[in-house]
């Protein structure tokens, strides 16, 4: 059911799922903040913030809380919103509140009557990411000694 | 993937420092100090992040006595495949929960 492929520097993830619900309910699970919060985090009650404006050009932003308490903020912009058939939005993790490298999610919802097929695609851009980081100048060349590190643990 | 592995993968992706460490390692091997340099956190804090990434199978660390270097677990030529693997685990976990919610909610 899961297929991954990459051409050149662009990794693409394709996933396909069949959900036991009609299409409009599946679409609403993605575009209604209260519904999204119920499945978005790693477990129940771990999605403390959801904000979304599901129209083309509208923004969205969520917080996911990991098991160890770390918070992961992610935001993006809706590119296509065609209920209940199609949803396209950008996805950018935040670093200290600033959105970083942007990737794109594209979802098609296929009507199977009482069920819905979801064709999900997440497209990333590795080479652009590498270029961005290089420009931040992360090269440094002093090393550390293992003993120093071990005493800190 | 087991549920524990999925949580570990999520934990690796969810933290901005860990994501940055993975991104840095895609450009090549690095020592712990090199990884720590862009951040204003201590080396022991970086070590904690590296442990999470190592437990998730995303990096490996050399065992040589004085110089400890970190590598991505994947061949660098497989960067894109690694990205796909990470996000597949991440999304599969979300969609499992979505499937349960859609099947059992009544409204």
Digit-coded pLDDT (tens) for B24-75: 887 788 888 888 888 877 888 888 888 888 877 778 887 764 567 777 665 4
Question: Residue A153: its chain B contacts at CB < 8 A?
Answer: 44, 47-48
Q: What stretches in chain A show pLDDT beneath 50?
A: 1-8, 126-153
Could you tell me how far CA A22 lies from the centroid of its own chain? 24
Q: Is A38 on the interface with B (CB under 8 A)?
A: yes
Q: Is A111 on the interface with B (CB under 8 A)?
A: no
CA distance A100 to A92: 6
CA distance A93 to A102: 8
Domain B3-104 CATH (choose: 1.10.490.20, 3.40.50.11740, 3.40.50.360, 1.10.10.10): 1.10.10.10
Give Cβ neighbours of residue B105 (< 8 Å, ≥ 6 apart): none
Is the CB of B20 less than 8 angstroms away from the CB of A95?
yes
Q: Which residues of B65-77 are buried (b: 16+ CB within 10 A; e: fewer)?
A: eeebbbebebeee
CA-based nearest residue to A21, from B93, B88, B98: B98
Q: Which residues of B28-41 are buried (b: 16+ CB within 10 A; e: fewer)?
A: eebbbbbbbbbeee
Helix/strand/coil for B27: coil
B16: nearest CB among A64, A93, A134: A93
ipTM of the complex model: 0.75
A4: nearest CB among B16, B32, B88: B88
Structural domains present in chain A: 2-151 (3.30.530.20)
Find the angle CA(A35)-CA(A39)-CA(A40) to the nearest 5 degrees: 100
**Residue extents of the structural domains in chain B:** 3-104
Q: Which residue has tokens 């000694």?
A: A145
Got the DSSP string for A7-35? ETTEEEEEEEEEESS-HHHHHHHHH-HHH
Given pLDDT bands bounded at 50, 70 and 90, which one contains residue B10? Answer: low
Find the angle CA(B97)-CA(A72)-CA(A108) to the nearest 5 degrees: 45
User: What is the pTM (predicted TM-score) of this model?
Assistant: 0.67
Is the CB of B87 less than 8 angstroms away from the CB of A13?
yes
Interface test with B, best of A66, A101, A116 (most B CBs within 10 A): A66
Q: Which residue has tokens 């090199």?
A: B34
């Amino acid at each position: 059911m899961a297929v991954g492929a990459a051409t050149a520097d662009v990794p693409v993830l394709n996933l396909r799922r069949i959900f036991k619900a009609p299409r409009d309910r599946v679409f609403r699970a993605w575009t209604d903040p209260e519904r999204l919060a119920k499945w978005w985090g790693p477990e129940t009650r771990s999605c403390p913030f959801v904000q979304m404006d599901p129209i083309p050009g509208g923004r969205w932003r969520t917080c996911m809380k990991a098991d160890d308490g770390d918070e992961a903020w992610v935001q993006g912009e809706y590119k296509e919103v065609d209920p209940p058939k199609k949803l396209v939005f950008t996805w950018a993790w935040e670093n200290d509140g600033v959105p970083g490298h942007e990737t794109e999610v594209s979802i098609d919802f296929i009507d199977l009557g009482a069920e819905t097929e979801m064709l999900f695609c997440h497209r990333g851009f590795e080479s652009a990411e590498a270029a961005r980081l290089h420009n931040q100048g992360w090269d440094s060349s002093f090393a550390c000694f293992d003993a120093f590190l071990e005493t800190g643990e | 993937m087991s549920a524990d592995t999925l949580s570990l993968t999520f934990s690796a992706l969810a933290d901005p420092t860990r994501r940055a460490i993975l991104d840095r390692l895609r450009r090549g091997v690095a020592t712990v100090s090199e990884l720590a340099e862009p951040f204003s956190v201590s080396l022991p804090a970086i070590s904690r992040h590296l442990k999470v990434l190592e437990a998730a199978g995303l990096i490996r660390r050399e065992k040589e006595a004085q110089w400890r270097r970190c590598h991505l677990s994947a061949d660098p030529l497989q960067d894109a495949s690694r990205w796909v693997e990470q996000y597949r685990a991440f999304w599969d976990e979300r969609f499992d929960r979505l499937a349960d919610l859609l099947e059992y909610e009544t409204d």
